[in-house]
Chains A and B, each alone.
Chain A
Amino acid sequence: MSSLQSLDIRRRSATVTQSPSQREATEIAKLIDVSRCIGCKACQAACLEWNDLREEVGVNVGVYDNPHDLTENTWTLMRFTEIDVDGRFEWLIRKDGCMHCADPGCLKACPAPGAIVQYKNGIVDFISENCIGCGYCVKGCPFNIPRISKKDAKAYKCSLCSDRVAVGQAPACAKVCPTQAISFGTKKDMAAWADKRIADLKERGYKSAGLYDPPGVGGTHVMYVLKHADRPQIYAGLPKDPKISPLVEFWKGVTKPLALAGVGLAALIGFFHYVTHGPNEVQAEDEEAAAKARRTPAE
């Protein structure tokens, strides 16, 4: 996406100072009700259409997932799981894609200023012209979402249709979903709507139905209503308690100031040593002793 949008920025990658924060904005969210999804892939098609992307024609390996994984063109993907849950066969279909974390690991890992931004409304967006193609976002993401293009080596993922949202439109996938399994609105409204859906599912016997809004990443701006919210992993590996890897937190946290301090201190110690001890100079006696040693080597 481009940065020329009427959305205010909350956070910006590789930027130590604060973003303009006087104006407030309402947090938005996309709610994906997995129990209403029929797996038609209209959302995938709409995503390609709206974003002017085309996926290569693939091969069938005996599963419905098409393509087989997220790619730099496929920013959202239906993942199909056939599974026995409590002795009953179930066909689980989950629309995978960027979760738009409140605490985005990609943004934290990104070394290029302004290549990843988080808008005030919660959308996490890649500003591709600032992307340097290092792939750090891939390491930062707890959901394995960003993909590096083989064409331009830049990272791509779902933008939550930030360009549509900026002008008051719902994301293309939500707009096109024929069963309204995807809804879009304020995060508050979406949580309230999810509560109703969960109550309904519980009434129908899905005791562990619940909302997926993982607190480990500060909550997300893409949420799921799951029939089996106690076991999100059965939905094609949706992580139960996603967190930014502690390695990434360490790397992008204390390491940065510590490293600069360590290097600075080393230079300073050297300078102070010189100032207090002066140069270690060869004396005339040293030269004489050496000359003498060279004349009479048989010691």
Chain B
Amino acid sequence: MADKNNILDRYTAGARLNHWINAILMICLVLSGMALFHPSLFFLTDLFGGGTMARIVHPWIGVLAMLSFLGLFIRFWRFNLWTRDDSAWMRNVKHVVSGDEAKVPEAGKYNAGQKLVFWLMSILTILLLTSGLAMWDSQFGEYTTIDQKRLAVVVHAGAAVALLIVVITHIYAAIWIRGTIRGMTRGSVTGGWAWRHHRKWLREEVGKTK
């Protein structure tokens, strides 16, 4: 549909690698974490070589995921600062959900929903990191009291479930809004996609090149 001239760069190769490393680590964390969270999912530990191995690798994968997320945070935080338009967008989110984006303010590089996902992921990652360290007994067992560990396990489980729901939203949005995934796989999107979903960003990009 789009001719070769009507393509915009959205993500550099570095950003794409960073994103997908994070995604793979997250999948490993979800599988090993859910296995230790719910007895009915304990069988998932077999993917990691058994219960003990899952217990050993989960926190190390967590450390890597945290570092990788830090990379994404540094790359994207400034594009995710909240503006007045975002509040207006959020108030009219029902139009977006029903596929009528004309009724909300034009979005920049990220719309308010994406910004919300970004900040929720950031906050939940910090919660998961701190509570995770407090329950990592084999490395830091002696630094926390049993009562602190009890609080940590509840926070860890709650934050993990919240993050998983945010991630599901993130993945669904990428599937639903056609033309989005190529931004993160090939690095580029069509002009029409940008016009339809991120018109303000399109105008900014056009302004830059001319």
Q: Which residues of A contact B (CB under 8 A)?
A: 14-16, 111-113, 130-136, 138-139, 144, 148, 153, 245, 247-248, 250-251, 255-256, 259-260, 262-263, 266-267, 270, 273-274, 277, 279-284, 286-291, 293-294, 297-299
Report how far A5 CA is from B164 CA in the complex, Å. 42
Interchain Cβ contacts under 8 Å between A and B, 7 examples: A14-B39, A15-B39, A148-B138, A255-B157, A256-B37, A288-B192, A297-B210
A111 cross-chain contacts in B, Cβ below 8 A: 36-37, 39, 42, 51
From A131, A247, A293, B202 is in contact (CB under 8 Å) with: A293
Chain B residues with CB under 8 A of A273 = 97, 172, 176
B36's partner among A134, A153, A297 (CB-CB below 8 A) is A134
Q: Considering the chains assembled together, what is the distance between the CA atoms of A113 and B157 in angstroms?
A: 19
**Does B111 lie at the interface of the complex (its beta carbon under 8 Å from any beta carbon of A)?**
no
Interface residue B186 (Cβ < 8 Å from any Cβ of A)? no
Q: Are B153 and A282 in contact (CB under 8 A)?
A: no
Flag whether B75 is at the interface (Cβ < 8 A): no
In whole angstroms, how far apart are the Cα atoms of A134 and B54 in the complex? 10
Report chain A residues within 8 Å CB of B194.
Answer: 290
Q: Which residue of A lies closest to B148 (CB)?
A: A139
Asked if A266 and B196 sit within 8 Å, CB to CB, the answer is no
Cβ contact within 8 Å between B42 and A277: no
Task: Judge whether A133 and B55 touch: CB under 8 Å.
Answer: yes
Residues of A within 8 A of B5 (CB): 291, 294
Tell me if B126 counts as interface (CB < 8 A to partner A). no
By size class, the interface of chain B is 35 or more
How close is A267's CB to chain B, nearest CB, in angstroms?
6
A16→B196 contact, CB < 8 A: no
Contact between A134 and B195 (Cβ–Cβ < 8 Å)?
Answer: no
**Does B74 make an interface contact (CB < 8 A)?**
no
B39–A144 touching, CB < 8 Å:
no
Partner of B191, one of A277, A281, A291: A291
Contact of B178 among A133, A255, A279, A287 (CB under 8 A): A279
> Is A263 touching B164 in the complex (CB atoms < 8 A)?
yes
CB A117 to nearest CB in B, in angstroms, measures: 14
A210 shortest CB reach to chain B, Å: 27
Contact pick for B1, options A133, A255, A280, A282, CB 8 Å: A282
Q: A245 near B150 (CB under 8 angstroms)?
A: yes
Which B20-71 residues have a C-beta within 8 angstroms of A?
A: 36-40, 42, 45, 50-52, 54-55
B187 in the interface (beta carbon within 8 A): no
Residues in chain B within 8 A of chain A (CB atoms): 1-3, 5-6, 36-40, 42, 45, 50-52, 54-55, 97-99, 135, 137-138, 141, 146-147, 149-151, 153-154, 157-158, 161, 164-165, 168-169, 172, 175-179, 190-196, 202-203, 206-207, 209-210
Identify A282's interface contact among B54, B164, B192, CB under 8 A: B192
Question: A270-B172, A279-B178, A282-B179 given. 12 additional CB < 8 A pairs?
Answer: A134-B36, A245-B150, A262-B165, A263-B168, A270-B169, A284-B1, A284-B192, A286-B193, A287-B6, A293-B202, A297-B203, A299-B203
Task: Give the chain A neighbours of B1 by CB distance below 8 A.
Answer: 282, 284, 287
Contacts of A287 in B (CB 8 A): 1-2, 6, 190-192, 195
Cα–Cα, bound, A255→B172 (Å): 24
Instruction: Provide the residues of chain B in CB contact with A289, threshold 8 Å.
Output: 192, 195
Contact A132 B54 (CB under 8 A): yes
7 closest Cβ contacts across the A-B interface?
A290-B191, A287-B192, A286-B192, A270-B172, A132-B51, A14-B39, A290-B195
C-alpha spacing A57/B191, complex, angstroms: 75
Closest Cβ neighbor of B58 among chain A residues: A134
Q: Could you tell me if A266 and B169 are in contact, using CB atoms closer than 8 angstroms? A: yes
B154 touches A251 (CB 8 A): yes
Closest residue of chain A to B189, judged by CB?
Answer: A282
Q: Which residue of A lies closest to B151 (CB)?
A: A247
Shortest beta-carbon distance, A292 to chain B, in Å?
A: 9
Contact indicator A279/B176 (Cβ below 8 Å): yes
A112 to B165 Cα, complex, angstroms: 25
Smallest CB separation, B114 vs chain A (Å) = 14
Contact for A112 among B37, B51, B177, B202, CB less than 8 A: B51
